[in-house]
Each structure stands twice: as C-alpha cells, then as structure tokens.
Amino acid sequence: MAPIISISGLRVAYGNHEVLKGIDLAIAPGSFVALLGASGCGKTTLLRTLAGFTPASGGSIRVEGRDALTLPPERRGMAMVFQSYALWSHMTVAQNIGYGLKLRGMPRDKIGQRVAAQLAMLGLTGYEQRSVAELSGGQRQRVALGRALAVEPKILLLDEPLSNLDARIRVQMRHEIRSIQKKLGLTAILVTHDREEAMVMADLVVVLDQGRIAQMGTPEAVFQRPASPFVAAFMGAENIIDCEAKRNGAGIDLRIPAIPASQLHCPMSSSEDVASASVAADADGPVQVHFRSEAAFLREAGASVAATLQFPGRISQVSYLGSGYRCEVNTDCGAFFVDHPTRFAPDDGVTVCIPGNALHVFRRDLSRQAAPAKAFQ
C-alpha cells in the first residue's frame, strides 16, 4: 500500500538555527503515528510544516502523491487540533464546530446536519448553544476535535491536545480519540512528550532527538528494543550502570568493574518474541547498561537470585506510588531507583536484582569517563 504521506530530506530552519535536519518518514493510510520527544526536539515544527503553517527550507512532503509544499494549508486535506484548542470564545459550541464548514461555503442546513452528527459522536448533544467559556477542559477538547472532524479530513493532526487536561480525563480521551480515528479510518499524527500516551494511542512511534529521527517502530519494538542510549532513557530505562562486556557464543557476559563479584551471562535472541537482553551490535568492551525501575527488584542483603545482575546497596529514601514503593538505592556503582511491592526502611541493606531480559546494553563513550574501566580478565 502506497503511503498517504511521504516525507523526504525535510529541513526547517528559523533563521540560522536548523530545527529539522533531514527527516525521512512514510506514513500509511489509516495509521496512527505518534511523534515523541522532549521539548525542542522538532516534533511540533514537523507537525506545523506538514499542516502548511511553517515553511520548509529543504526536502519534500508528498500527500497522496502530490507535492504538498506548494499547497496552502486548506488544500492539504488535513485538519489540526491545537494544544490550546484555539476556540472562539464569543461563539457557541455549534458555531465553533461549524466554523470551518462556513468558511468553505457549505449551505446552512447541511452545516447543521454535520454539526449535529459531530455533537452526537462526541457526547455533546444538548450543548449546541452553550458558550465554550462555560465548558470544562475535556468538553472544550471535544469541541476542538469536532471542529477538526467536521470538515472530514483524510489526515488529522494533533498537537499535544491532552496536555491541558487532568490525569483522569486525559486517560479517558486517549481511548476516545483512538476509537474515533479507527471508526472514521483517518490517518492521525499526534505530537506528545508523554511516552505512555504515545504507546497507548499509536501504531507507529517516531522518537525525535535534536531535529532527527532517533528511532521509529511499533510501540513494543521501541520500548523493548531501544536503538540508542537516548531512546532507552527516554522510554523509561533511566538507570545506568557502567559495565564491561565480552561476547560469549550466542550471548554476552557482563561484569561491573566497581563490584567484581557482579557478573551475568545474558543470552541473546534475534526474535522479538523471545525475552532476552537488548544488546547493541557493537556492545563489546566498555558498555553502559540501562534498566527501568519497575524491571528490577530488591531482596534482603546477602540474598542471591539466579539469572540476574545483582549487587549490594543501601536504601537512601522511599516514596509511595500507590501500587508499591519507589526506593532510591545507593551502591558502589551508583544510585538507582527500584520499584518494590513492599516497603524497605531508609538505611536498610538490600541486594539489587536485575533480570537479564530487562537490560539494554550499549557501547560506552569513554570520553565521558574520568578513567577507563578495567578490561575483562
């Protein structure tokens, strides 16, 4: 199936500052794509360039085979929901939803029919004559979504539309937007800095870093097999251990130089269906190992657990998460956060245990170290 959007070598600059540095991306019809990244990575610039609000300085965007860079926003077959919603405060709910249709010269009776259909789909029937100033955040978000959908776009652009909502409504709206996108068969592109939001809503996650694509793939692939230390940390694997690695058959041996007794053999598999360590192709010698706080666990000091990378530590502080406790653990190889179902007290001695399949292993940049680690004996 031919992509509905093809982006090639796209560059965008603000003055002398280049924000997008050669983006290549193909988006399939009917897919839901999340552009994920930290503030300043270029994700909103990419969305606005797609919409036609920001000019490109190089490269191309083709929509259904046509050169979109030469088209004004209203002729690109796209509609955009802004982070601020951008609703007209002096208009009613119905007037806001029908605004784009009025600009297109649609007859009044047909506008009324289209608006009524949007109100019913979004659960806003009966709110037609309300001022948007009287609505809650979640209701305003629905009005903004209804205004975008009323013009029946093929492509829906969403610029962090849930960031202004409280946590409970945000979770609900994730599923509502995804459901509407599937029902209508739209192609949707979401900008977000929230990795959980991206994984819940999207078929394809595109992680951006400093104007470039750091990795793209299914939510499962990006989460389980991050392609770089940056992606691993952004996807939650923020605990980092400096280790030494040595290839050993179909696996890799890991050792923590700061704790010589801590060693682990990690089997590797080329299949994404088999749980195994995620190891970069060049990971041999000095490496940095990433793991998530929820992937590790704690045992009392001196305990030994097979098939884990384990080392001693001492609890420095504990926070309650509701479903368990987040413990900060000081060790000879650094301080780490580990989630645990039961409470440890500050200053308790523990053993940190990390299963091999929870590890993400990358070659280490020795330039960031004061002194190189000892070689494998």
Would you state the pLDDT for residue 23?
A: 98
The pLDDT tens digits for 268-292 are: 765 554 457 889 888 889 999 999 9
As given in the structure block, the two tokens for residue 170 are 């945000």
Mean predicted lDDT score pLDDT of the chain: 91
The pLDDT tens digits for 243-252 are: 999 998 878 9
Range ranked top by mean pLDDT from 71-85, 125-139, 227-241, 245-259? 227-241
0.85 surpassed by pTM: yes
Domain boundaries, the chain: 5-224, 234-368
Of the listed ranges 4-8, 156-160, 164-168, 183-187, the least confidently predicted one is 164-168
Report which of 87, 80, 85 is spatially closest to residue 49, judged by C-alpha positions.
80
Report which of 57, 52, 65 is spatially closest to residue 23, judged by C-alpha positions.
57
Would you state the pLDDT for residue 359?
A: 95
- Average pLDDT value for residue range 26-48: 96
Would you state the pLDDT for residue 270?
A: 55
The pLDDT tens digits for 142-160 are: 899 999 999 999 999 999 9
Question: Which option is the CATH number for 5-224: 3.40.30.10, 3.30.70.20, 3.30.565.10, 3.40.50.300?
Answer: 3.40.50.300
CATH class of 234-368: mainly beta
- Average pLDDT value for residue range 111-125: 92
- Average pLDDT value for residue range 50-71: 96
- Using pLDDT thresholds of 50, 70 and 90, give the confidence band for residue 173: confident
E-only strand ranges, 228-348: 239-248, 251-256, 259-267, 278-279, 285-291, 297-300, 308-320, 325-331, 334-340
367 Cβ neighbours under 8 A, 6+ residues apart: none
